[in-house]
Amino acid sequence: MKIVLSTDHAGVDLLRQLEAFLTEQGHECLNIGPASIDPDDDYPDFIFPAARKVAAGEYDLGIIMGGSGQGEAMAANRVQGVRCAVYYGPATAVGAVDAGGTAAADEYEILRLSRQHNNANILSLAARFLQWQDIQKAVTVWLETSFSGADRHARRIAKLDQ
């Protein structure tokens, strides 16, 4: 799979680790994050190019990082055709996770839902809230999950992408 990677200063070191991890898994990666840590950099300068590559179909998926991952996701979601989900860490649902009343399978269900129901094509990770082992697990779960293709989800996504 072709995956574009980017971050702001908060995720530089973690993104390098992630790039190596994904490459070892057989993925083709392009890291367009900053080469060094500069607290004055602006995340849109690094996130917009990554989001545009996914939206244009040059890359299958994107993984981005920032301190909270929130601003980065907001930037990515401004690019038409991008559906970016934010992940802070493992969490268990307090109730059913879908309209059918299905309970959460485990603490990574939110990642699966972002792909199954929303066909998220970029994952934004909260670098200051995640340990490396959480990132590895989260990315693995996210990449192994496919869009369900259900009509109701496809209809909703089409409205987002208009």
> Which residues carry out catalysis?
72, 117
Measured in degrees and rounded to the nearest 5, phi and psi for residue 88 equal -100, -30
Q: Name the token pair of 150.
A: 């259900």
Measured in degrees and rounded to the nearest 5, phi and psi for residue 79 equal -90, 120
Q: What is the 3-state secondary structure (H, E, C) of 65-126?
A: EECCCHHHHHHHCCCCCCCEEEECCCCCCCCECCCCCCECCCCCHHHHHHHHCCCCCEEEEE
